[in-house]
């Protein structure tokens, strides 16, 4: 029987385990944490199901991914209206953007600037040539200075911690689906909503008991199909010197090893390069060391009130606010329980070991409270509890020139017989959960009956992965 060991029990790893087990493959999943889901998990906070930041399942999800999730969740997969807003130049604007709301609430200076930028784009001879493209140059050429300077650039500085000019142009293609003023305006019109048409514009799918319910359902189905899942278990080494890969692991104070036919890795590819017990060329080691991740601190406040606002999420591009987004998970679902309690989650980007990462829970809660008051959203009820989650690998950091370094590492990993790396962390990408599950399904399709990987088919799938655009 073909056997596969999956490293990591996030959505990609669990989806792969389920597909493999259902196809008759013997599957073992190894997860370092004591829970599944990775960054796409949920937990109980004072009776409120809260997520690791703001998560949604988007209508842009591939049909086969939606079909799989619907088959697992049934009526618990809800169709919900998007109802957020952005703090822009001291004013609140609905998000997703609405034409009427823009007309009534947009700051006149912002509207005038966008109009001037659009006029300039229509004039001949405005294109720039001979300049190396960056996130900044591509967005400014497509969207104009006003949208960039007032929204995208401040937001980028907060999310990634570097200047827009230091960010790779790939980030513009991966994160900004409306790459021109014309496209942005078109998306505001009826039927202009991102490929799904008017029927899916302004909606999202969400599990009734938190986004982590997707991972829990994948876990239960994978185990039912025969997969073995080991939580709280860390991989210490992967030996490739024999006929079959051997995964060495540690759980608590005990060590062990597991021989396998293939290793499907969804852990950070930079970490994977350090675990493989084989000759790693110096240029590959250097490439792995050069690739960075942006970290995130999530600050949760449990409040003794039914709802904080009517909105599911608030976005804050301005530099005066310490967070990029505040989400109220209770508003994502259709549940009213628990009565008289709600929870806020503040997303605060940082780097490991900087002052934000090292701050105490009380210090972080105070920063969040002060930021909300500055935005005109003071907390007037009692804060019943504060909880903080620290995510070391929140986003890959796409600095200018990272592509060459990643390519060096990626090609080396791709050449390792017995290992396939995929998922957000495994391919160093900013993809959504539906993209991760799609990758997992593709990885399973590329497994031959004899247990080998069809690399040509996998490379063809990789071309599809490159077209993924992140949905916010």
Residue 74 tokens read as 């049934």
pLDDT in the model for residue 219: 98
Nearest to 432, CA basis, from 240, 255, 205: 205
Query: Is there a contact between 312 and 331 (Cβ–Cβ < 8 Å)?
Result: yes
Residue 50 tokens read as 């809260």
**Residue 134 CB neighbours (<10 A):** 20
Residue 46 tokens read as 């004072």
Regions of the chain where pLDDT drops below 50: 188, 190-191, 193-199
Hey, CA dihedral for 52, 395, 67, 23, is it positive or negative?
negative
Query: Mind listing the pLDDT tens digit for each residue in 77-113?
Result: 999 999 999 999 999 999 877 777 777 888 888 888 8
pLDDT in the model for residue 390: 97
CA distance 249 to 236: 5
CA distance 325 to 84: 10
pLDDT in the model for residue 194: 45
Hey, CA dihedral for 192, 196, 200, 206, is it positive or negative?
negative
Query: Is there a contact between 323 and 369 (Cβ–Cβ < 8 Å)?
Result: no
pLDDT in the model for residue 270: 96
Query: Is there a contact between 5 and 264 (Cβ–Cβ < 8 Å)?
Result: yes
pLDDT in the model for residue 106: 85
Using DSSP bridges, classify how beta strands 383-396 and 419-421 pair: parallel, antiparallel or unpaired: unpaired
CA distance 344 to 365: 11
Cross-sheet strand order for the sheet of 383-396? 91-95, 84-88, 313-315, 325-327, 342-350, 293-303, 383-396
Q: What are phi and psi of 4, to 5 degrees?
A: -135, 140
Q: What are phi and psi of 207, to 5 degrees?
A: -70, 140
Residue 314 tokens read as 């608030």
Burial class (CB in 10 A: 0-12, 13-18, 19+), 448: exposed
pLDDT in the model for residue 43: 96
The string of DSSP codes covering 373-397 is HHTT----S-EEEEEEEEEEEEEE-
Residue 10 tokens read as 């996030």
Query: Mind listing the pLDDT tens digit for each residue in 328-349?
Result: 999 999 888 899 999 999 999 9
């Amino acid at each position: 029987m073909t056997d596969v060991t999956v490293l990591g029990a996030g959505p990609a790893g669990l989806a792969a385990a389920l597909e493999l087990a259902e196809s008759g493959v013997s599957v073992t999943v190894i997860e370092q944490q004591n829970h599944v889901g990775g960054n796409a998990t949920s937990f109980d906070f004072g009776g409120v199901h809260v997520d690791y930041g703001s998560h949604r399942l988007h209508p842009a999800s591939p049909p086969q991914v939606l079909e799989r999730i619907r088959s697992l969740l049934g009526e618990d997969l809800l169709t919900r209206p998007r109802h957020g807003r952005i703090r822009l130049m001291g004013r609140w604007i609905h998000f997703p953007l609405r034409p009427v709301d823009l007309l009534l609430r947009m700051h006149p200076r912002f509207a005038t600037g966008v109009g001037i930028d659009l006029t300039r784009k229509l004039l001949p001879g405005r294109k720039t040539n001979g300049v190396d493209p960056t996130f900044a140059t591509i967005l400014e050429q497509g969207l104009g200075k006003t949208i960039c300077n007032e929204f995208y650039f401040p937001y980028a500085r907060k999310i990634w911690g570097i200047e827009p000019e230091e960010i790779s142009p790939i980030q513009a293609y991966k994160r900004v689906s409306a790459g021109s003023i014309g496209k942005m305006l078109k998306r505001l019109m009826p039927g202009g909503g991102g490929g799904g048409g008017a029927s899916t514009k302004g909606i999202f799918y969400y599990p009734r008991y938190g986004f982590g319910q997707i991972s829990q359902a994948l876990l239960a189905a994978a185990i039912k199909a025969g997969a073995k899942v080991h939580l709280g278990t860390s991989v210490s080494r992967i030996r490739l010197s024999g006929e079959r890969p051997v995964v060495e692991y540690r759980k608590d104070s005990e060590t062990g090893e597991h021989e396998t036919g293939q290793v499907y890795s969804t852990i950070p590819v930079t970490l994977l390069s350090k675990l493989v017990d084989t000759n790693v060329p110096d240029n590959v080691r250097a490439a792995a060391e050069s690739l960075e991740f942006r970290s995130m601190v999530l600050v949760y406040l449990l409040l003794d009130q039914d709802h904080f606002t009517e909105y599911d999420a608030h976005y804050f591009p301005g530099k005066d606010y310490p967070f990029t987004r505040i989400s109220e998970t209770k508003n994502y679902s259709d549940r009213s329980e628990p009565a008289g309690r709600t929870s806020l989650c503040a997303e605060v980007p940082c780097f490991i070991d900087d002052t934000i990462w090292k701050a105490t829970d009380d210090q972080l809660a105070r920063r969040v409270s002060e930021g909300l008051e500055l935005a005109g959203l003071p907390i007037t009820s009692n804060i019943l509890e504060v909880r903080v989650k620290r995510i070391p690998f929140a986003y890959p950091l796409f600095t200018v020139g990272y592509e060459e370094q990643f390519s060096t590492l990626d090609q080396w990993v791709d050449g390792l017989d017995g290992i396939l790396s995929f998922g957000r962390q495994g391919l160093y990408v900013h993809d959504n959960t539906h993209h991760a599950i799609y990758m997992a399904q593709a990885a399973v399709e590329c497994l031959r009956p004899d247990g080998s990987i069809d690399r040509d088919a996998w490379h063809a799938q990789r071309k599809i992965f490159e077209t993924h655009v992140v949905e916010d």
